[in-house]
Amino acid sequence: SIFYAYWSPAYKRPAVVNELPITHWVSPRLLARALPVVQPIIEALHTKPINDTRRAYGLPILSKSLSDMYTAGDLVLYPDVPGFVPLENLPPHHHFIGTCPWSAPGDLPPWWNEVMNSPRPKILVSLGSSGPLKALPAILEAASELPVEVLLTTSGRSVVLNRPGVHVADLLPYEETAKRSAIVVSHGGTSALYPALAGGAPMLAIPSNYDTHLSTDRLVKLGVGLSVRAEEATPVNIRRALKELLEEPKFKQAAMQWSQRIAAVDTKTLFPDLLRQWFSARSAHHS
């Protein structure tokens, strides 16, 4: 099993409610009070198909916990760096393997050199393939009132723009662009968060899905960024957060510290070493 550490049974997940139709009318912070009652029911529904299949093949069923289901492997790997999500008393078959860095191949856009050589701070806006695209107009409006250059990646999604000063590309080398940016604006998911921090850039997260809320919670608690929920993503709220990230050096300092911690964990070494050890131990056990 390879899952982010916030799904580990060794982590006490915070009480967060993701974006739902009801959260546009009722405060998600109020709804979170019902989670102790509602969440076990929701997780039981999600784990039922797996347990039904296991039962049909004569395998012991798992618990009704999502964490137990996601990490029910003989070898469990977390594509994280230790400490970002606090885990204690891990079983011996659970291991951190670093952030698995990857960058999309492709040519740089024609505007790259001119824009990146501009003295104005850069804001990378990258909502990925699943971020709340409906928040994009508010993000761009908020950024337009600041002395910044906006770099927007669309990830192949259809985006209609009618705003000058926004430099658009389908994809950009994420970590390299983050390294040269003052802020990264994303959905807050770990796949976006880690390369931003690897580049030393603080983040403004606009979470909507449950998993992006889980990683955004760690982002905020560790002081490497701020969050505006998708339901609350107005130009006023986003501009306030962007100004704070630009003006308060503590966010950049924290991001640079995590950049060093991320660089110190080499996935390309850890991952194959763990596999070799695991297969070697199994071979010895069966010989």
State how far the Cα of 177 lies from the Cα of 195, in Å rounded to an integer.
10
pLDDT in tens, 188-224: 999 999 999 999 999 999 999 999 999 999 999 999 9
State how far the Cα of 162 lies from the Cα of 146, in Å rounded to an integer.
17
Contact call for residues 65 and 9 (beta carbons, < 8 A): yes
Query: Which candidate, 157, 149, 155, places its Cα nearest to that of 106?
Result: 155
| Residue bearing tokens 């139709």 | 21
* pLDDT for res 48: 96
pTM for this structure? Answer: 0.91
Contact call for residues 93 and 76 (beta carbons, < 8 A): yes
pLDDT in tens, 96-119: 999 998 887 788 999 999 999 999
How would you class 12 by CB atoms within 10 Å of its CB: exposed for 0-12, middle for 13-18, buried for 19 or more? exposed
Strand partners, 273: none
How would you class 268 by CB atoms within 10 Å of its CB: exposed for 0-12, middle for 13-18, buried for 19 or more? exposed
pLDDT in tens, 118-135: 999 999 999 988 888 899
* pLDDT for res 162: 67
How many percent of the chain have pLDDT more than 70? 99
Judged against a pLDDT cut of 80, whether residue 163 lies above it is answered with no
pLDDT in tens, 59-90: 999 999 999 999 999 999 999 999 999 998 89
State how far the Cα of 180 lies from the Cα of 122, in Å rounded to an integer.
7
pLDDT in tens, 250-283: 999 999 999 999 999 999 999 999 999 999 988 8
How many percent of the chain have pLDDT more than 90? 78
- What pLDDT band is residue 6 in, cutting at 50, 70 and 90? very high
DSSP string covering the chain, please?
-B--GGGSTTS---------GGGGTS-HHHHGGGHHHHHHHHHHHHHHHHHHHHHHTTPPP--S-HHHHHT-SSSEEESS-BTTB---S--TTEEE----------PPPTTHHHHHTSSS-EEEEE-TTTS-GGGHHHHHHHHHTSS-EEEEE-TT-------TTEEEES---HHHHHHT-SEEEE---HHHHHHHHHTT--EEE---SHHHHHHHHHHHHTTSEEE--GGG--HHHHHHHHHHHHH-HHHHHHHHHHHHHHHTS-HHHHHHHHHHHHHHHHHHHH-
